[in-house]
């Protein structure tokens, strides 16, 4: 039963730590394909902290909103609600700084000959710049999703592998097995530096120079683009294609971006080269 004295009051740090930990427990089960019941989790939490069902459910959606900003997976069914208590930010930060916290699960392709797990969808429209509250901006900088995905080599490899097999299967389905056999995983065979990861073809045999960007976050999670990749997109407008693979921890999907890239994403400089002359 809810504690009447708590209705309409802010949550304390202990309560927030409990619900954040509970959220991540449900998320881990969802990513692993393990059964769990949201209502059971909510009931146990309500009994522990004396909050109403509505308050608990809304706080779960607040957590989804923050994790979405951080480019992290969220629980299906808890639609992000951004009107949250500011104290939820340090509670999430405390949880993410826990020693030994496991990263989101990466789904490897067990059988390359099986149908591709990638869903194909349209690219999201370019939106106006979004101003974040200072505390949220600081949290996003601290757990930068672009840098996290860029450094996660295992995630990048699995995303490239998924697209490599997708392109072969696509060409097989378009009755071009000759071209399917020619598809090359350039980043694996020749190493990085070409400005793209996979050399594929369209049905007519024209080049598709594919750069793959993979994230466990949602479809609008930002990503890094190297100077070399951007230069190639301008040099080979006819052939360069950026495939954004997202939600890789649970339900992988992808969309394609064609040059000019600025029609789809907002490009901003993030790094500096430091020299002594």
1 pLDDT more than 60: no
5 pLDDT more than 80: no
Lowest mean pLDDT segment, chosen from 127-131, 141-145, 230-234 = 127-131
33 contacts: CB under 8 Å, gap ≥ 6? none
How many residues would you count in the chain?
277
Taking the C-alpha atoms of residue 219 and residue 197, their distance in angstroms, rounded to an integer, is: 20
259, 233 contact by CB (below 8 A): yes
142 contacts: CB under 8 Å, gap ≥ 6? 93
Taking the C-alpha atoms of residue 103 and residue 100, their distance in angstroms, rounded to an integer, is: 9
pLDDT per position as a tens digit, 189-216: 999 889 999 999 999 999 999 999 999 9
**151 Rama sector, left if φ>0, alpha if ψ -120 to 50, beta otherwise:** alpha
Q: What is the mean pLDDT of the chain?
A: 91
| Reported confidence tier of residue 2, pLDDT bands at 50, 70, 90 | low
Lowest mean pLDDT segment, chosen from 41-55, 102-116, 151-165 = 102-116
Using the CB atoms, write b or e for 219-250: b if 16+ within 10 Å: bebbbebeeebbebbeeeeebbbbbbbbbbbb
Please give the backbone phi and psi of residue 217, each rounded to the nearest 5 degrees, phi first: -80, -170
Higher pLDDT, 122 or 249: 122
Please give the backbone phi and psi of residue 129, each rounded to the nearest 5 degrees, phi first: -55, 140
Instruction: Provide the 3-class DSSP secondary structure of residue 111.
Output: coil
Taking the C-alpha atoms of residue 60 and residue 78, their distance in angstroms, rounded to an integer, is: 7
Q: Rounded mean pLDDT of 15-32?
A: 93
Picking from 45, 52, 92, the residue whose alpha carbon sits closest to that of residue 72 is 92
Higher pLDDT, 99 or 19: 19
Domain locations in the chain as residue ranges: 4-96, 119-125+133-263
């Amino acid at each position: 039963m809810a504690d009447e004295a708590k209705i309409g009051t802010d949550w304390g740090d202990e309560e927030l730590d409990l619900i954040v930990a509970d959220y991540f427990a449900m998320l881990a089960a969802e990513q692993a394909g393990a059964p769990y019941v949201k209502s059971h989790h909510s009931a146990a939490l309500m009994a522990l902290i004396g909050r109403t069902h509505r308050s608990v459910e809304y706080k779960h959606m607040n957590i989804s909103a923050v994790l979405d900003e951080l480019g992290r997976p969220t629980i299906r069914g808890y639609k992000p609600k951004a009107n949250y208590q500011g104290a939820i930010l340090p509670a999430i930060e405390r949880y993410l700084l826990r020693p030994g916290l496991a990263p989101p699960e990466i789904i490897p392709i067990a059988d390359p000959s099986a149908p591709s797990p990638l869903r194909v969808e349209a690219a999201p429209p370019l939106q106006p710049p979004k101003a974040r509250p200072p505390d949220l901006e600081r949290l996003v900088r601290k757990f930068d999703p672009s840098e996290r995905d860029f450094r996660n080599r295992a995630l990048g490899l699995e995303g490239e592998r998924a697209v490599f097999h997708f392109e072969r299967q696509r060409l097989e389905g378009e009755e071009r097995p000759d071209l399917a056999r020619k598809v090359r995983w350039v980043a694996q065979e020749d190493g990085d530096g070409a400005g793209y990861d996979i050399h594929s073809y369209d049905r007519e045999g024209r080049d598709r120079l594919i750069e793959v960007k993979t994230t466990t976050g949602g479809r609008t999670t930002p990503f890094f683009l190297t100077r070399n990749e951007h230069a190639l997109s301008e040099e080979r407008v006819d052939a360069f294609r950026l495939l954004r693979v997202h939600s890789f921890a649970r339900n992988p999907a992808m969309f394609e971006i064609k040059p000019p890239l600025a029609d789809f994403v907002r490009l901003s400089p993030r790094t500096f080269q430091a020299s002594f002359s």
